Structure 1
């Protein structure tokens, strides 16, 4: 069981501030792609809507129903998502997963704000919620690319 100090460290003021200020929190009208993902263990859900222009995200919206850690992760993504390619989003998702599960380094800039979630490494039951926005965004990009080729 986590001690009170561990939980205070995990739910830092920075995480709580991010969770309270998620960018692009509104769903988009008529997006090119829309993906809803759910973390089965905790029930967190994220729906991502996006448009792609010239291989990068040009419009983005997200509906986040998650714990503070999942919300903080969605906020970090939202701060940096516009203008990003599929490769950048997937690389960030993979780096964040490695950071959480394998003790890897923090994702590279501009997504280096995920350092705030390093204390969550020891809370495996929260990893899926933390990765949810990136997973949904990567899937939405793939969906938009498939639709563009059809």
Structure 2
């Protein structure tokens, strides 16, 4: 988990993003600012500033690893699947590397941090143009 958190240095804020959005965890106060570039309705580049615990940082890195090439609809579906999983569904959602933070599922106070990057993406992509 800690190794994933270190990867955030590879995703600095973007100079001129197509859109930017923020999210904050109600449970722990963690925050994320997410920048995206869009191309043909898909994420083509991301940058972020994450202020979170190791779980939130790792979740953001896992999100960043696999968000490129995904549409807003795909990210929304992933968010809903992760939310259902955190609420008790036994099936691990189909998002690569999510197993790296799966142990944090047992700690409800960390759920907000785990969802943070997907919430920021939804806030960001709801205002992003289709390309840019």
How far the C-alpha of 1:24 sits from its partner, in A, is 4.3
CA contact (8 A) 1:19 1:72 kept: yes
- Write the distance in 2 (CA, Å) between the matches of 1:17 and 1:92: 23
> Gapped runs of 5+ residues in structure 1?
1-14
Instruction: Please give the residue correspondences for 1:25-104 in structure 2 after superposition, counting only pairs within 5 Å.
Output: 25-104=11-90
- Write the distance in 2 (CA, Å) between the matches of 1:48 and 1:87: 17
Report which of the two structures shows the higher radius of gyration computed on alpha carbons.
1
How far the C-alpha of 1:52 sits from its partner, in A, is 1.2
- Write the distance in 2 (CA, Å) between the matches of 1:29 and 1:69: 27
- Write the distance in 2 (CA, Å) between the matches of 1:104 and 1:87: 23
CA contact (8 A) 1:49 1:140 kept: yes
Give yes or no for the alignment of 1:127 onto 2:108. Answer: no
How far the C-alpha of 1:31 sits from its partner, in A, is 1.1
Give yes or no for the alignment of 1:18 onto 2:4. Answer: yes
Q: How many residues align structurally? A: 130
Q: Which runs of 4+ in 1 moved over 2 A?
A: 22-25
Stretch moving more, 19-28 or 58-67: 19-28
> Gapped runs of 5+ residues in structure 2?
none
Q: Which has the higher contact order (CA 8 A, sep 6+)?
A: 2
Taking structure 1 as the reference length, the TM-score comes to 0.80
Matched position secondary structure for 2:8: coil
Could you say which residue in structure 2 is the equivalent of 1:143?
127
